[in-house]
Chains A and B, each alone.
Chain A
Amino acid sequence: MSESATEPTGEAAAEPDGPMIVARGLRKSYGGLEAVCGIDVSVEKGESFGFLGPNGAGKSSTMRMVAAVSPVSAGELRILGMDPATHGPQIRGRLGVCPQLDTLDMEISVRENLTVYGRYFGLSREECRRRADELLSFVQLTEKANGEVDELSGGMKRRLSIARSLINSPDILLLDEPTTGLDPQARHLVWERLFRLKQQGVTIVLTTHYMDEAEQLCDRLVVMDKGLIVAEGSPTDLIQEHSTREVTELRLGVGDHEAVAAEVKDLADRVEVLPDRVLLYTDDGEQAAVAVNERGLRPASVLVRRATLEDVFLRLTGRTLID
């Protein structure tokens, strides 16, 4: 894609160098239910920022407020320096929104989904056509341009949604769970395209419950749980702060877990017992593995790995299933 399609518009260039998004004490309630319970967030220009959290944590509600489609219940929110309550259309004109569920139009062609959408932003027909072709090539859908949306695979639809969200050369790209439901190949292709946008300086805000996605794409992220921010930082910072450097996983026979856990308690900073394995959180996983061996324990398998965001996430939000 050429630079022009993702560069901020002239209007945006005049923007003071303040943060792209600022929220203070931001709240959202639906009737009696508080979905977002007062969060503070600031996103800088060119940053890739992530909202992580289990289902129902308040990520999507936050995104809808940032997208200037859902009114703020309380607190302050400024997007591109503007208040969504008074400047909704102006803000939306400079955002790209890729919703959690594709909202593509099945009755018109792949390319028409882009050209028609560009018109909503007041772009000329010619400009819409030019950008549509550029974007289709960017998301590798040029061959499908005149095809039906229905014939596209899930990954292709998602890429088309991303292309559509870029039609107005947005200053901020909002992605709500961009790869949920995609197969691994499709996910990697989406990540790769998003990474390119990031390199081109597009400010990206995304929600996800995939930790690998957050580690790949986010410069900085917040972990949300029950409408509150429970941690904030870069993926590396968060791992350092909330986990150990490494994790040693011991797989044992059924029923041995609790007994083994007691025996190795002193070998790690923290020990967690799961139904199928025991996790030792430690800064030196190898050493822990050797020590386990020295104590005469013979697990079915031992895996030493680097701690991931997933360890942080589960530590912070718990392992209980949230539906």
Chain B
Amino acid sequence: MDLVLRQFDYWATTYRRTWRGSVVSTFVMPLFYLLGMGVGLGTFVDEQSSSELPDGVTYLEFIGPGLLATMVMMTAIFESTYPVYGNIKWTKVYDSMLATPLGVVHVLNGHLLYVAFRAASMSVVFVVVLAAFGVVDSVQGGIFAVLAAVVVGMAYATPVFAYSARMKSDNGFAPLFRLGILPMFLFSGAFFPVQNLPDAIQWLAYLTPVWHGVELCRNLLLGTVEWGADLAHLGYLAAWIVVGWLLARRSFGERLAEGA
């Protein structure tokens, strides 16, 4: 662990120098979605009242937690694509780290911790904003929702690290963004219940980690926790993290230990 923490100054310095550029995508954009869809579209949806939303839940309350999970997913994925590929291929930052006592696993975990920090910081801000809109049921619920959002982020970061570390050119990111992330964002259950989707797509949605994350965050924030279901969501996300991490470790080892 000491060897992982030795990278703290590096990532802190990098963040100090780059956070301004990420403010819009990580803090402002979620807020726009919340205002545009939660408040704007929400008023319209709530007035139709034929809503399939759970009892007494406004549209703002419905999509607020969903936006938390999906926005963290997007940031975590993005932070695991170009930054990882660039550190391998362009700046060779990982190579410079590996010339020191640090090993591949330390370098991997150091960068993953940074992604976790990014996920956590945006989650905290977003949950505080949600609280201001009256969407957060309890303080504990808010804290656990932040943790859950970080878990969602890591469930995506680890496999995407593995993917990015294998790529020979950055052409592979376009399909990932267009065919992977966009559908997951739209059909995650964040904006409407996935039961509204055709059966086949519904089952696909159940397979994505983000649907489990949306459900988990929603239950935690709205105070509607169902232990059995929510632990299952958490377990499913944890499984993605574990498998993703094992794949990432393999990709990093093969790519970096021989510098191909």
Q: By the criterion CB–CB under 8 Å, are A69 and B98 in contact?
A: yes
Does A19 sit at the interface, judged by CB under 8 A? no
When the two chains form the complex, which single residue of B13, B91, B92, B101 contacts A120, counting CB atoms closer than 8 Å?
A: B101
What 0/1 readout, one digit per residue, does chain B (202-223) give for beta carbons within 8 Å of chain A? 0000000000000000000000
Q: By the criterion CB–CB under 8 Å, are A125 and B9 in contact?
A: yes
Q: By the criterion CB–CB under 8 Å, are A115 and B101 in contact?
A: no
Minimal Cβ-Cβ distance residue in A for B95: A103
Does A116 sit at the interface, judged by CB under 8 A? yes
* B residues 201-258 touching A (CB-CB < 8 Å): 257-258
Smallest distance from the beta carbon of A106 to chain B beta carbons, Å? 6
Q: By the criterion CB–CB under 8 Å, are B7 and A120 in contact?
A: yes
**In whole angstroms, how far apart are the Cα atoms of A216 and B63 in the complex?**
69
Contacts of A30 in B (CB 8 A): 258
Smallest distance from the beta carbon of A229 to chain B beta carbons, Å? 23
* B residues 88-105 touching A (CB-CB < 8 Å): 91-93, 95-103
Minimal Cβ-Cβ distance residue in A for B258: A70
Q: By the criterion CB–CB under 8 Å, are B259 and A64 in contact?
A: yes
Does B48 sit at the interface, judged by CB under 8 A? no
8 nearest interchain CB pairs? Answer: A120-B100, A103-B96, A103-B92, A89-B101, A97-B99, A93-B101, A116-B10, A119-B9
23 contacts between A and B (CB under 8 A): A69-B95, A69-B257, A70-B258, A89-B102, A93-B101, A95-B99, A99-B92, A99-B96, A103-B93, A104-B91, A104-B96, A105-B91, A105-B96, A106-B91, A108-B14, A116-B10, A116-B13, A119-B7, A119-B9, A119-B10, A120-B7, A120-B10, A122-B2
Given A89-B103, A125-B9, the answer on whether A120 and B97 have CB atoms closer than 8 Å is yes
Does B168 sit at the interface, judged by CB under 8 A? no
- 19 new A-B contacts, CB < 8 A, other than A92-B99, A92-B101, A119-B8, are A69-B99, A70-B257, A90-B101, A93-B101, A103-B93, A103-B95, A105-B10, A105-B91, A105-B93, A106-B91, A108-B10, A108-B14, A117-B96, A119-B7, A120-B10, A120-B97, A121-B100, A122-B6, A168-B100
Q: By the criterion CB–CB under 8 Å, are A112 and B96 in contact?
A: no
Does A88 sit at the interface, judged by CB under 8 A? yes
Contacts of A168 in B (CB 8 A): 100
Count A-side interface residues using an 8 Å CB cutoff.
32
**Which of B3, B18, B92 is the most central at the interface, judged by chain A CB atoms within 10 Å of its CB?**
B92
**Which of A69, A92, A121 is the most central at the interface, judged by chain B CB atoms within 10 Å of its CB?**
A69
Contacts of B9 in A (CB 8 A): 115-116, 119, 125
Q: By the criterion CB–CB under 8 Å, are B13 and A108 in contact?
A: yes
**In whole angstroms, how far apart are the Cα atoms of A101 and B259 in the complex?**
13
Contacts of A125 in B (CB 8 A): 9
Q: By the criterion CB–CB under 8 Å, are A92 and B93 in contact?
A: no
Given A92-B101, A119-B6, A120-B6, the answer on whether A103 and B91 have CB atoms closer than 8 Å is yes
Does A71 sit at the interface, judged by CB under 8 A? yes
Does A67 sit at the interface, judged by CB under 8 A? yes
Does B178 sit at the interface, judged by CB under 8 A? no
When the two chains form the complex, which single residue of A92, A103, A107, A121 contacts B17, counting CB atoms closer than 8 Å?
A: A107
Q: By the criterion CB–CB under 8 Å, are B259 and A107 in contact?
A: no
Q: By the criterion CB–CB under 8 Å, are A99 and B93 in contact?
A: no
**In whole angstroms, how far apart are the Cα atoms of A79 and B231 in the complex?**
51
Smallest distance from the beta carbon of A148 to chain B beta carbons, Å? 10
Given A69-B257, A70-B258, A105-B93, the answer on whether A112 and B102 have CB atoms closer than 8 Å is no
* A residues 24-70 touching B (CB-CB < 8 Å): 30, 64, 67, 69-70
Q: By the criterion CB–CB under 8 Å, are A121 and B18 in contact?
A: no
Minimal Cβ-Cβ distance residue in B for A68: B99
Contacts of B17 in A (CB 8 A): 107-108
Minimal Cβ-Cβ distance residue in A for B90: A106
Smallest distance from the beta carbon of A185 to chain B beta carbons, Å? 26
Minimal Cβ-Cβ distance residue in B for A67: B99
Minimal Cβ-Cβ distance residue in B for A69: B98
What 0/1 readout, one digit per residue, does chain A (101-142) give for beta carbons within 8 Å of chain B? 101111110001001110111100100000000000000000
**In whole angstroms, how far apart are the Cα atoms of A103 and B17 in the complex?**
18
Q: By the criterion CB–CB under 8 Å, are B13 and A99 in contact?
A: no
**In whole angstroms, how far apart are the Cα atoms of A101 and B99 in the complex?**
13
**Which of A70, A90, A112 is the most central at the interface, judged by chain B CB atoms within 10 Å of its CB?**
A112
**In whole angstroms, how far apart are the Cα atoms of A99 and B98 in the complex?**
12
**Which of B7, B8, B92, B100 is the most central at the interface, judged by chain A CB atoms within 10 Å of its CB?**
B100
Minimal Cβ-Cβ distance residue in A for B93: A105
Contacts of B92 in A (CB 8 A): 99, 101, 103
Contacts of B7 in A (CB 8 A): 119-120
Minimal Cβ-Cβ distance residue in B for A105: B93
**In whole angstroms, how far apart are the Cα atoms of A70 and B99 in the complex?**
10
